[in-house]
A and B are shown apart, each in its own frame.
Chain A
Amino acid sequence: MKVIVNVSLKEGVLDPEGQAIRSSLNNLGFEHCSDVKTGKQIILNFNQNSEAEVLTQAKRMCEELLVNTVIENYEISILKD
């Protein structure tokens, strides 16, 4: 079973990379792009079939390692084949 974790910066945390991308997009003529936020995606493969168990484990992984909860939010979803 595949699980996708999307990690993004919390609201109010400065995202200089997003700002640099927005500025470049504006320069390319996409002047209506008013904000860009960057993040990262982590794909986890589990050799287990219980969705509930997999989600519990993914959440623990996020809290213990994958996410810096001081500045980042995360969303976990199961990738259906």
Chain B
Amino acid sequence: MIVALKKITGKAPIKIWHKENDIPNLDLIVIPGGFSFGDYLRCGALAARSPVINVIKNHISRGGTVLGVCNGFQILIEAKILPGSLMRNKKLLFTCKETTLEVQSCIKNPFLSSFKIGECLKIPVAHNEGNYFAPNDLLKELKEEGRIALKYSKQKDNEKNYNPNGSTEDIAGILSNNGRVLGMMPHPERAINYLHGGTDGLKLIKNCVEQIIG
């Protein structure tokens, strides 16, 4: 993720330790993937109670932008910054593969503004607990508010296993109610170089940076 952000901005992003409770005003906070606290208790549960989370919540309440990827998405969910739950993959397998994501019709946000609705992005996933679950009332709310940003999409009518984790309605990423926070399971930073097999992830992160700092 640092490589991706450096590639786009030409500057190295600031790394923030999880015990930090005072940070400068930032344009964008990215919570990257990984296995914080060894995934103990529940993925992201312990990191979501780290002191830095209050700082992130303050940044969001000031209208700040946050991107959470994979474990970062799990942390945002556990911190109750985004709603719902990320459960064990339906087939009980750690899944590491390229997925096709379809951009949904959703509220104004800095992440996908340069993409057309229905446009497909090739971005890989690598996770064990990415099965997004929302109870029916929450799902209805997310749809009505246009907060479902990305869905796993099939490329052929008869394609199976296009959804890598069995998530509710193929959801891959959701937005906060002001559109400034995106949580997504796929890793855009793993699709930033043609050697990765594509650069759609770079487009997503680049759009986000450009929307925020111009």
Contact = CB atoms under 8 A, between A and B. Distances in A.
A70 B85 contact: yes
A70 B41 contact: no
Contact of B87 (A14, A20, A65): A14
Chain B contact residues: helix, strand, loop or mixed: loop
A14 B90 CA distance: 8
B78 interface: yes
A66 interface: yes
Contact of A71 (B46, B87, B89): B87
A35 interface: no
B70 to A, nearest CB: 18
A20 B41 CA distance: 21
By size class, the interface of chain A is 10 to 19
A71 B91 contact: no
B213 interface: no
Contacts of B135: 70
Contacts, number: 33
Contact of A20 (B49, B84, B92, B166): B92
B91 A16 contact: yes
Contacts of A17: 88, 92
A16 B92 contact: yes
B133 to A, nearest CB: 6
Interface SS majority for chain A: helix
Contacts of B45: 65, 68
B133 A13 contact: yes
Interface string A65-81: 11010110000000000
Contacts of A14: 87, 90, 131, 133, 166
A75 B172 CA distance: 32
A65 B81 CA distance: 15
Given A13-B133, A14-B87, A71-B85, A66 B41 contact: yes
27 contacts: A13-B87, A14-B87, A14-B90, A14-B133, A14-B166, A16-B88, A16-B89, A16-B90, A16-B91, A16-B92, A17-B92, A20-B92, A64-B49, A65-B41, A65-B46, A65-B49, A66-B41, A68-B42, A68-B78, A68-B85, A70-B83, A70-B84, A70-B85, A70-B133, A71-B85, A71-B87, A71-B133
Given A16-B89, A70-B133, 11 more contacts: A13-B87, A14-B131, A16-B88, A65-B46, A65-B49, A66-B41, A68-B45, A68-B78, A70-B84, A70-B135, A71-B133
